[in-house]
Amino acid sequence: MRAANLIAIDWGTSSFRAWAMTDDGTVVDEVSSPNGILAVPDGDFEGVFEAAVGAWLDANPDLPVIASGMITSRNGWCETPYLPLPVAAGNLARALRPFTTRKGRTIQFVTGAARNPETGLPDVIRGEETELVGHLAAGGSGQGLFVMPGTHSKWARAEGGALIDFETYMTGEIFAVLSKHSILGRLMAADAPPANDSFRRGVEVARNARSSITSTLFSARSLALFDRLAPTEIADYLSGLLIGEEVRSGVATHSGITEVTVVGRGDLADRFAMALDLFGVSVSKAEPGMARLGLLEIGKRAGLVST
């Protein structure tokens, strides 16, 4: 087995992923957990970090570490300032923020970017910019519209290999809150198998609705009350309503858009592709692992690993 040259960490709101890899991107070892920043016990980020990658660093203390995602947010371990748009691999590499843990480990944190920080409604991005860098490093197009599903989905526009604009949708977090902490979740069956027809049904309701999403959401309960939606179908129907509303808004915002690239994990990317297709938008899907490749590319630009 080849020796690793870099530890790359994608630490988001709801998940933690780390890879030990060589300078050509070969994964030597990897670890993942549900310990996103909102699920770290008592805010012990260093404890989660050490449990995940401490053994790798004990074996090779000089191994550089690079991390991106919500771990650099105000709710994370080390808050970093936002870069102005546009952003690309080069200025992300130049803006790396070194951080030393109590145990003396050094982590290079990738910062995020901000849109309209001084006027209008500000928006921020942390982590998805790294996925976009990875997509470009893997040979993907540096032009067009990118949909990046997640806890907080991003619709990002790139030109000339740089991120130039984006919008955030809290779709994933709203689904989690409604499922776990609202009356809409009371009739849901736990651990139900996927129900794609119910998901599509929700998307179609959102696409054709004339009323607000705050009204149509209640149909996830009312349909079930009249046995027109099974308990095993409620979660997928609700997911379809929310993703359908996001896509409806995104398509309206980017008037005339006919194709997008979806960047994200397989199951969620498939759902967004399904919804976009129902809106008549052509979809290409990036290969998995874009965050990992983005961290490697930024690490190379910063001189952490050889090019």
Task: Give the tens place of pLDDT for each residue, 74-111.
Answer: 999 999 999 999 999 999 999 999 999 999 999 999 99
Q: 169-285: which CATH topology?
A: Nucleotidyltransferase; domain 5 (3.30.420)
- In this prediction, residue 307 has a pLDDT band, given cuts at 50, 70 and 90, of confident
CATH number of the domain located at residue range(s) 6-140+291-301 in this protein? 3.30.420.300
In contact, 239 and 202? CB cutoff 8 Å: yes
Note the pTM of the prediction, 2 decimals.
Answer: 0.91
What radius of gyration do the chain's Cα atoms show?
20
DSSP string, 52-87: HHHHHHHH-TT--EEEESGGGSTTSSS--PPEESPB
- Per the listing, tokens 């983005």 go with 294
Q: Per DSSP, what are the bridge partners of residue 147?
A: 155, 262
pLDDT of residue 235: 98
Backbone angles phi, psi at 146, to 5 degrees: -120, 130
Delimit the domains of the chain by residue range. 6-140+291-301, 169-285
pLDDT of residue 119: 87
Structure tokens at 130: 């790294």
Q: Is 169-285 in the same CATH topology as 6-140+291-301?
A: yes
Q: Smallest Cα–Cα separation from 145: which of 292, 293, 70, 247?
A: 247
